[in-house]
DNA sequence: AGCCGAGCTTGGAACGTTTCACAACGCACC
DNA sequence: GGTGCGTTGTGAAACGTTCCAAGCTCGGCT
C-alpha cells in the first residue's frame, strides 16, 4: 500500500531493477520494446522516484535555498526573483525560506538545509553572528551572503549601505533640514547600522546636530506607523523636520500615519526611504528612496554560489559591492506634485 | 575528505554505529560516559546528519511546501506567513516555491516536491488543470488548494471571488458609474475569471452596459501601468469612468500611470483593487479594495493540510470559503480626502 | 564451425541512516 | 553458585536508488 518502488515497477514489467533505472537515467541503453514496457508499468503503478534514495546514492540535490530576512518585504522577493532566474537557467530549483526577521528560525532553516545537503545557500542574515555560516562553509556547503558584506572567507553581494545612508542624509541636509530623525532597528541587522552610520557621517561632515534615533523592533509597515505616532506626538518646536527610514516598509508606514495625524509631507516632515521598492513610487506622497539593483543583486549572488558549488577547489571568494542611487520624489521635494491646489 | 558519516563518528569514539544513532535519537538509552564521548566525536568531526538517508530509512520529511502563484505579490507572502506559523507550531519547516505565474515552473516544483516526499503541499495554481493535483493526491501527497475553490476530492481554502467581484462592481454602480472597465488576466487564473464573473453579474442585475475588459498577461504592477496607458489613451467620451482590477498590483500600477497621464482619481477614473494588501492603503490615492483574510487563509490551509497528513485514513475533504469585504477609500469616493483644496 | 563484438539485460554492492533482536555485563536474590 | 533481571552496547537488515562488472543472445566474419 505504500508508494511503489523501482522493485515493484521491475516486477510488474518483468525486468530487473537496474533496467528500470536505466530507462529513467540512460534510456538510450534500453531496447525500444523494453523501454515501452517499463514506461507503461511506471504509469500504471504511478511510480515516483524517491529523491532521498537517489540523493543518498551519490547524486546531488540540484537544489539551492535562499534564506530570506523577511519575505514580506518586496525588496527581498525581487532579489529572490533574480536569483531564481539564474538557478532555473542552471537547472536547479530554489527554495525560499522565510526567516521572518527571527534569528532562531533562520538557524533552524540552516540546520535543515545542511542536513538536506542542498548545493548551496544564499542568505540575508538577521544577526551579525558569522560563526554559524563559517561552520556551514567549513563543512562544505557553499554560502553567499546577500545584501550584506562579508569577510574575506565568504562570497557576498551587497550594496554600499554606508554610502546609501550618506546619500540620503546629504540630500536632506541640502534641502535645508537640520533636525533629522533616523527610523530603524533592531541594531542587530547589519543594514540598519550601516545606513545609520552613513547618515551620521554626513551630518558630522556638515556639522549638523546629531540624529534623533527612533529605534524599531522590526522593519515593517506597522513599526513605521508607530514611529509616525511618536513623531507626530512631539511638539513642533522639537520635532524633526525630516526622517530617514532604514527601509521603505518603515517609510511607507511612517508616511501613512504622519499624514493621518495631520502632518503634511514634505512640508512638515520630509521622508526618505530605502530600497526603492515598487510600491514606493506609488505611495500617497511618492517616496524619495535609496535604490538598489535588486534583481542584479540576486542574479550575481546566485552566479557566485553556482560557481563555488561547481568548482569548490580553485574558488576565490568575492565580495561584490554595488552602488546605491538616490531617487528623489515628492516626499522630500517642496514643489507641489501637481497643479490641483 | 567527504562529509563524515556515523561510521566515522563511531570509529572515532570507539563505539558501534548503532550507538551513535542512539545518542542522536534516544539519548536516554546511552550511558552518560559513552554519550559524552560520542558527542565530542561528533563535534570534533563536524558530523552532520544526512537527511536523505534518514528519510529513506522510513522517516518522514517533516517539511511542507507552499507553491505560490507569485511571491512578488504581497498578498501571497501574507498568506504564507500565516501558513508558516502553523507549520512552525507543528514542528515542520515550510519551503516557499515561487511559481512566478508560470505553469511549467509550478509543474516542475510539484514534481520535485513529490519526489522529495514532502508531507504535504499548499498550492495556489496558475491554471485550472486539476489533473496534476489529482495525481499527486492519489499517490499519497496531501494537497490543499489555496485562494481557489476545489472539487469535493480535495481540501481548499478560498474566498468567494464571485461575491468579491460583485461587491466591487456594485459599489461602483452605486457611486453612479455606468461605463466600467475590468482589468485582469490571464483568464487561465481562476481568481481572475471568478472576480470578472461576479462583476458581470452585478452589472447585469443593474441592467448596466457590459464591462470593458482590458486583458493583461500578468497580475503585476507593470501590467497595471500598461492598462493605465490604454485607458488614458481613449477619448474621454468613450473612456470608462471606473476600473475594477483583478488585484491590487494591477490597481496600483493603473493608478500610478493614470495619475501620471493626467487623469484625476477618482474624479476622472475611480479604481477598485482586490486583496487589500498593506500597500493599498498607503497609495497615492488610497485604494478601495476587496479585502480577504490573508493570514487566516494561510493558517486554515496549513491546518487542513496537517490534519490530512497526520490522519489520511478518515480524512474528509473540506472546502472552506471565506467572505470578502469591501474596504472603501479615496480611490472611489468623491469626497476630497483632506481639506487642502 | 568457431569466434567476436555489439547490443541489451542482469544482479549485487554501495550510499548513511534507523531499528531491532540479541549479547554482554553486573548485580541482587534465593 | 546458579537464576533472573536491568542496563548498555552490538551488529546486521532494510530503506530505494545508481552504477558497474559480468552475462546472455545474436548475427556476421573468417
What number of CA atoms fall less than 13 Å from residue A43's CA on the CB side? 6
**Cβ–Cβ below 8 Å for B72 and A74:** yes
pLDDT of residue A129: 85
**Cβ–Cβ below 8 Å for B93 and A108:** yes
Arithmetic mean of pLDDT, A295-305: 98
Report the C-alpha gap between B184 and B191 in whole angstroms: 10
**Cβ–Cβ below 8 Å for A84 and B98:** yes
Report the C-alpha gap between A110 and A139 in whole angstroms: 13
Chain B residues lying within 8 Å of A49, measured CB to CB: 115
Report the C-alpha gap between B158 and A247 in whole angstroms: 32
**Distance from the A139 Cα atom to the nearest Cα atom in chain B, whole angstroms:** 7
pLDDT of residue B58: 80
Backbone Cα Rg of chain A: 26
Output DSSP code: residue A28.
G
Report the SS3 class of residue B59. coil
Chain A residues lying within 8 Å of B46, measured CB to CB: 135, 138-139
Backbone angles phi, psi at B254, to 5 degrees: -60, -50
Report the SS3 class of residue B300. helix
**Cβ–Cβ below 8 Å for B84 and A98:** yes
Q: What is the DSSP string of A114-144?
A: HHTT-SEEEE--SSS--HHHHHHHHTT--EE
Arithmetic mean of pLDDT, A41-66: 93
Q: Which of A287, A209, A286, A297 is closest to A247 using CA atoms?
A: A287
Report the SS3 class of residue B145. strand
Report the C-alpha gap between A113 and A97 in whole angstroms: 10
Judge whether residue A29 contacts strand D, using its CB and a 7 Å cut-off.
no
**CA A162 centroid distance within chain:** 18
Judge whether residue A56 contacts strand D, using its CB and a 7 Å cut-off.
yes
- Strand C: list positions under 7 Å from protein Cβ: 7-21
Q: Which of B177, B165, B171, B168 is closest to B267 using CA atoms?
A: B177
Q: Cα–Cα distances in Å, from B69 out to A100, A300, B97, B127, B193?
A: 20, 24, 9, 10, 16
List for chain A the helix, strand, coil content (%; round to 5).
Answer: 45, 15, 40
- CB B261, CB B289: distance < 8 Å: no
Q: What is the sign of the dihedral through the CA atoms of A244, A245, A246 and A252?
A: negative
Chain A residues lying within 8 Å of B336, measured CB to CB: none
Q: Which of B166, B168, B171, B173 is closest to B209 using CA atoms?
A: B173
Q: Is B283 on the interface with A (CB under 8 A)?
A: yes
Chain A residues lying within 8 Å of B93, measured CB to CB: 97, 108-109, 112
Judge whether residue A60 contacts strand D, using its CB and a 7 Å cut-off.
no
**C-beta within 7 A of nucleic chain C, residues 41-100 of A:** 53, 56-58
Report the C-alpha gap between B246 and B229 in whole angstroms: 17
* Long-range CB pairs of A88-92, under 8 A, 24+ apart, other chains included: A88/B105, A90/A306, A91/A62, A92/A62, A92/A63, A92/A64, A92/A119, A92/A306
Distance CA A41 to C1' C10 in A: 19
pLDDT of residue B113: 96
Helix (H) or strand (E) holding B104: helix B103-115
Distance CA A252 to C1' D21 in A: 67
pLDDT of residue B1: 61
Question: Which residue lies nearest C14, CA-to-C1' measured?
Answer: A57
Residue of B nearest to A52 (CA): B52
Report the C-alpha gap between A261 and A279 in whole angstroms: 22
**Cβ–Cβ below 8 Å for B81 and A96:** no
pLDDT of residue A45: 95
Residues whose CB is less than 8 angstroms from the CB of residue B327 and which lie 6 or more positions away in sequence, other chains included? B276, B288, B289, B290, B291
Q: Is A105 on the interface with B (CB under 8 A)?
A: yes
At residue A334 the predicted structure's pLDDT band, cuts being 50, 70 and 90, is: low
Residue of B nearest to A283 (CA): B283
Backbone angles phi, psi at A275, to 5 degrees: 115, -30
Q: Which of A138, A107, A118 is closest to A64 using CA atoms?
A: A118
Report the SS3 class of residue A320. strand
Question: Which residue lies nearest D19, CA-to-C1' measured?
Answer: A18
Judge whether residue A6 contacts strand D, using its CB and a 7 Å cut-off.
yes
**CA A165 centroid distance within chain:** 19
| B222-251 residues touching A, CB cutoff 8 A | none
Residue of A nearest to B256 (CA): A282
Q: Cα–Cα distances in Å, from A196 out to A181, A199, A201, A313, B59?
A: 10, 5, 9, 38, 48
Report the SS3 class of residue A2. coil
Mind listing the pLDDT tens digit for each residue in B264-315?
A: 999 999 999 999 999 999 998 999 999 999 999 999 999 999 999 998 888 9
| A17-56 residues touching B, CB cutoff 8 A | 46, 48-56
**Cβ–Cβ below 8 Å for B256 and A281:** yes
Report the C-alpha gap between A104 and A213 in whole angstroms: 27
C-alpha torsion angle, residues B301, B307, B309, B314 (rounded to 10): -130
Q: Cα–Cα distances in Å, from A147 out to A97, A191, A295?
A: 16, 8, 12
**Cβ–Cβ below 8 Å for A80 and B88:** no
Q: Among B77, B115, B253, select the one facing A49 at the smallest CB separation.
A: B115
Question: How far from each other are the two terminal CA atoms of chain B, in whole angstroms?
Answer: 74
pLDDT of residue B339: 35
**Cβ–Cβ below 8 Å for B81 and A72:** yes
Judge whether residue A115 contacts strand D, using its CB and a 7 Å cut-off.
no
Q: Which nucleotide is nearest to B48 (CA to C1')?
A: C16
Q: Is A236 exposed, middle or buried (0-12, 13-18, 19+ CB in 10 A)?
A: exposed
pLDDT of residue A199: 98
The pairing of strands B288-291 and B325-327 is antiparallel
- CB B273, CB B283: distance < 8 Å: no
- CB A119, CB A63: distance < 8 Å: yes
Q: Among A48, A56, A97, select the one facing B95 at the smallest CB separation.
A: A97
Question: Which residue lies nearest C10, CA-to-C1' measured?
Answer: A16
- CB A332, CB A266: distance < 8 Å: yes
Q: Among A78, A115, A256, select the one facing B282 at the smallest CB separation.
A: A256
C-alpha cell of A177?
A: 533640514
Judge whether residue A2 contacts strand D, using its CB and a 7 Å cut-off.
yes
Q: Which of B196, B197, B204 is closest to B173 using CA atoms?
A: B204
Q: Is A29 exposed, middle or buried (0-12, 13-18, 19+ CB in 10 A)?
A: exposed
**Cβ–Cβ below 8 Å for A279 and B252:** yes
Report the C-alpha gap between B229 and B223 in whole angstroms: 10
Q: In B285-311, which positions are buried (b, 16+ CB within 10 angstroms) versus exposed (e)? A: bbbbbbbbbbeebbbbbbbbbbbbbee
- CB A110, CB A121: distance < 8 Å: yes
Residue of A nearest to B262 (CA): A338
Residue of A nearest to B71 (CA): A77
Distance CA B92 to C1' C11 in A: 40
**Distance from the B290 Cα atom to the nearest Cα atom in chain A, whole angstroms:** 19
Distance CA A39 to C1' C3 in A: 37
341 residues of chain B, pLDDT tens digit each: 678 999 999 999 999 999 999 999 999 999 999 999 999 999 999 999 999 999 999 878 999 999 999 999 999 999 999 999 999 999 999 999 999 999 999 999 999 999 999 999 999 999 888 899 999 999 999 999 999 999 899 999 999 999 999 999 999 999 999 999 999 999 999 999 999 999 999 999 999 889 999 999 999 999 999 999 999 999 999 999 999 999 999 999 999 999 999 999 999 999 999 999 999 999 989 999 999 999 999 999 999 999 999 988 889 999 999 999 999 999 998 654 443 33
C-alpha cell of B127?
A: 491554471
pLDDT of residue A324: 98
* pTM for the predicted model, two decimal places: 0.93
Report the SS3 class of residue A305. helix
Amino acid at each position: 500500500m505504500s508508494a511503489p518502488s523501482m522493485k515493484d515497477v521491475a516486477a510488474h514489467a518483468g525486468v530487473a531493477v537496474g533496467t528500470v533505472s536505466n530507462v529513467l537515467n540512460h534510456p538510450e541503453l534500453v531496447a525500444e520494446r523494453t523501454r515501452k514496457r517499463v514506461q507503461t508499468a511506471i504509469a500504471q503503478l504511478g511510480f515516483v522516484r524517491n529523491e532521498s534514495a537517489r540523493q543518498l546514492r551519490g547524486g546531488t540535490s540540484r537544489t539551492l535555498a535562499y534564506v530570506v530576512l523577511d519575505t514580506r518585504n518586496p525588496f527581498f522577493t525581487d532579489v529572490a526573483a533574480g536569483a531564481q532566474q539564474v538557478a532555473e537557467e542552471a537547472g536547479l530549483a530554489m527554495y525560499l525560506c522565510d526567516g521572518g526577521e527571527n534569528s532562531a528560525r533562520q538557524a533552524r532553516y540552516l540546520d535543515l538545509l545542511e542536513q538536506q545537503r542542498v548545493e548551496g545557500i544564499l542568505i540575508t542574515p538577521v544577526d551579525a553572528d558569522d560563526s554559524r555560516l563559517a561552520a556551514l562553509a567549513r563543512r562544505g556547503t557553499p554560502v553567499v551572503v546577500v545584501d550584506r558584506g562579508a569577510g574575506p572567507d565568504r562570497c557576498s553581494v551587497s550594496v554600499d549601505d554606508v554610502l546609501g545612508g550618506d546619500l540620503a542624509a546629504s540630500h536632506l541636509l541640502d534641502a535645508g533640514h537640520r533636525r533629522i530623525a533616523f527610523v530603524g532597528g533592531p541594531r542587530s541587522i547589519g543594514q540598519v547600522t550601516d545606513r545609520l552610520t552613513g547618515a551620521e557621517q554626513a551630518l558630522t561632515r556638515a556639522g549638523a546636530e546629531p540624529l534623533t534615533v527612533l529605534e524599531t523592533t522590526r522593519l515593517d509597515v506597522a513599526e513605521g506607523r508607530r514611529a509616525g505616532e511618536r513623531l507626530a506626538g512631539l511638539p513642533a518646536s522639537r520635532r524633526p523636520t525630516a526622517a530617514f527610514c532604514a527601509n521603505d516598509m518603515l517609510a511607507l508606514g511612517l508616511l501613512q500615519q504622519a499624514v493621518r495625524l495631520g502632518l503634511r509631507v514634505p512640508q512638515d516632515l520630509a521622508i526618505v526611504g530605502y530600497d526603492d521598492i515598487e510600491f514606493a513610487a506609488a505611495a500617497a506622497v511618492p517616496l524619495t528612496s535609496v535604490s538598489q539593483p535588486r534583481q542584479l543583486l540576486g542574479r550575481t549572488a546566485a552566479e557566485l554560489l553556482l560557481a563555488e558549488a561547481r568548482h569548490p577547489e580553485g574558488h576565490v571568494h568575492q565580495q561584490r559591492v554595488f552602488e546605491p542611487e538616490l531617487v528623489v520624489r515628492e516626499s522630500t521635494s517642496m514643489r507641489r506634485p501637481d497643479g490641483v491646489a
